[in-house]
Structure 1
Amino acid sequence: MNKLRGIVGFVVSLCMPAQAHDFWLQPEHFKISPGASTPMTLQVGHGPFRQRSQIPLRRISRFSDIGIDGGVTDLRPSLHAGGATDDGMLTFKQAGTHVLLLETDSKAQSHLPALRFNDYLRVEGLTPALEERQRNKSLNAEGSENYSRCAKVIVQVGADAGGRVTSPVGLPLEIVPEMNPHAQPRSGRLPIVVLYFGKPLAGATVKLTNLDHDAEPFETRVSDSRGRADFGMPQSGRWMLNVIWTRARPRGSDTDFETVFSSLSFGFE
């Protein structure tokens, strides 16, 4: 029986789409009243592979709320990852637009057969990793990576759209919108910049996904030389922007690459 389970697991890993590592924060309500609460879940995957994340609490290194005045509130004590119906309850007393951020450690590893790993790199636009494998003549070898996850979510509290939405929060890989989606009148465009360790990242594939119809991305862009990309501004629904980037680890490391998965989720009631 154990052998059969191992075979089934291997086949499933080959069939799972490259976006299966998509990870984001999803409150039940993206807009609430001051003093009100909303449950939140940690989500991973997409389409038929979407599920509650099983990440253990010990791997979550940061979970914070950036208030409208830039003050940081540690929300990690409020997490109960793996709860029966949610992973935490969010309550906001201060009106305005709040930005929540979550960051994990990079202890998780992924090991994939050569064909599967190369396909994943191509689909996600991880050109530096493909070039590294070509230089090392390792395209036919198993690919491996350590990975971490970063996620931000925009929560609108009350009607005032003031906040720090357009400011970086110091994540290793970060999507920073250049305008607040909740600002009125709402713009027809959503320009963003991608930062990698605080610097604009060119050539990154950024995807906008409708979380209510998430089998495929709604729009895909590649960041320009200034790390910028431009999307149509959604007018309703629940949405996620996500990006992935990687770099080679030193020779002799237990894996080949160090990868970061990053997302920004937001929505309209």
Structure 2
Amino acid sequence: MKKYTLLFCLLTFFSFLSFSHEFWLQPLKFLLKINEHTTVDVFVGENYTGEKVDASKFTISKLTHYSKEGEKDIRGQIATKDSVKIPVTFSSEGNHLLAFNNTNKFIQLDAKKFNEYLRSEGLDNIIKLRKEKGLENKKGREFYQRCVKTLFQVGETKDETFSKNTGMRLEIIPTMNPYLIKSGDLLTFKVLFDNEVFSNALVLAWWVKHGKTSMKKLRSNSKGEVSFPITKDGRWMISTVKMIPYTASAEADYQSFWGSYTFGYY
């Protein structure tokens, strides 16, 4: 009996972890030459390490390339069906930004696990709402989707593409070009939800260097801004989550949006 109880607990725990994973775009290289080929994978995981996503479980609603020349829908460039591998080659110097959004997926957790998840992601608004409505002991039924971006540097030219608002519901936007700062400088990020300031968001800055991950977390201010010191080495991800009540149908009680912005110096 103890063996089966332990197995059930482990399965429940890992099911919870599999949902609470970060989600990001990960290029093989961020710093490129003109017409140099590379690929971008879509990853899900913990601690800014993970595995390629199973693309059969959702539909890509947005995969757009932004540059100083404009924007282009590149969903047709995806190389595989089971995992999202995006081949890219940029023919002009400057900054190039990819933005990805997928359709909703569904998750249901028992009350204890759902409340733990809300606390771990800093979703104070939903914790407060559940307390006010006496729902702390009710299971959590949730739709969730991803709003993620990655930034390349091609050649030496820098431009304003880094700050592009791509129109996704959750946006993370640097206020300075990550490839123009000096190592150790503070880099400020603005967080928007539905194109409005997202204040008091729990924002995480992940840094991977030589296979080791470090992470810092801060709350965004009244302007939706948060600043982190950036070392120009390895790869970085800035991430946050927004959750709102879901009232469009009886299928779920909440809707969440997971955002990330990646860049790197290799």
TM-score, normalised with respect to structure 1:
0.88
Determine the structure 2 residue equivalent to 1:44.
44
RMSD of aligned Cα (Å): 2.5
Determine the structure 1 residue equivalent to 2:173.
176
The one of 131, 152, 155 aligned to 2:128: 131
Q: Which amino acid aligns with 1:166?
A: S
1:242 shift after superposition: 0.5
1:252 shift after superposition: 5.6
Q: Which moved more, 1:173-182 or 1:8-17?
A: 8-17
Q: Which moved more, 1:179-188 or 1:35-44?
A: 179-188
Secondary structure class of the residue paired with 2:148: strand
CA contact (8 A) 2:235 2:263 kept: yes
Separation (CA, whole Å) in 1 of partners of 2:129 and 2:77: 41
Instruction: Confirm whether residue 75 of structure 1 aligns to residue 74 of structure 2.
Output: yes
Q: Which moved more, 1:21-30 or 1:248-257?
A: 248-257
Count of matched residue pairs: 261
Determine the structure 1 residue equivalent to 2:33.
33
1:48 shift after superposition: 9.6
1:226 shift after superposition: 0.8
Q: Deviations over 1:218-255 (max 9, x none)?
A: 21110111101010022110111100001011286211
Separation (CA, whole Å) in 2 of partners of 1:264 and 1:135: 33
Separation (CA, whole Å) in 1 of partners of 2:205 and 2:8: 29
Determine the structure 2 residue equivalent to 1:91.
89
CA contact (8 A) 1:125 1:205 kept: yes
Secondary structure class of the residue paired with 1:236: coil
1:17 shift after superposition: 3.9
Greater strand fraction, Structure 1 or Structure 2 = 2
Secondary structure class of the residue paired with 1:80: coil
Q: Deviations over 1:199-223 (max 9, x none)?
A: 1101110001124578865211101
* Percent identical residues: 26
Q: Deviations over 1:66-98 (max 9, x none)?
A: 1124x00111101134568x7121111111011
TM alignment of 1:59-208, pairs within 5 A: 59-69=59-69, 71-82=70-81, 87-106=85-104, 108-183=105-180, 185=182, 188-208=185-205
Q: Deviations over 1:104-163 (max 9, x none)?
A: 112x11111111110111111111111111122111111111011011000111111223
Separation (CA, whole Å) in 2 of partners of 1:210 and 1:9: 34
Secondary structure class of the residue paired with 1:51: strand
Separation (CA, whole Å) in 2 of partners of 1:49 and 1:266: 15
CA contact (8 A) 2:108 2:140 kept: yes
1:186 shift after superposition: 5.5
TM-score, normalised with respect to structure 2:
0.89
Gaps of 5+ in 1: none
Separation (CA, whole Å) in 2 of partners of 1:242 and 1:48: 10
Separation (CA, whole Å) in 2 of partners of 1:20 and 1:215: 20
Separation (CA, whole Å) in 2 of partners of 1:214 and 1:135: 43
1:50 shift after superposition: 1.8
Separation (CA, whole Å) in 2 of partners of 1:48 and 1:169: 23
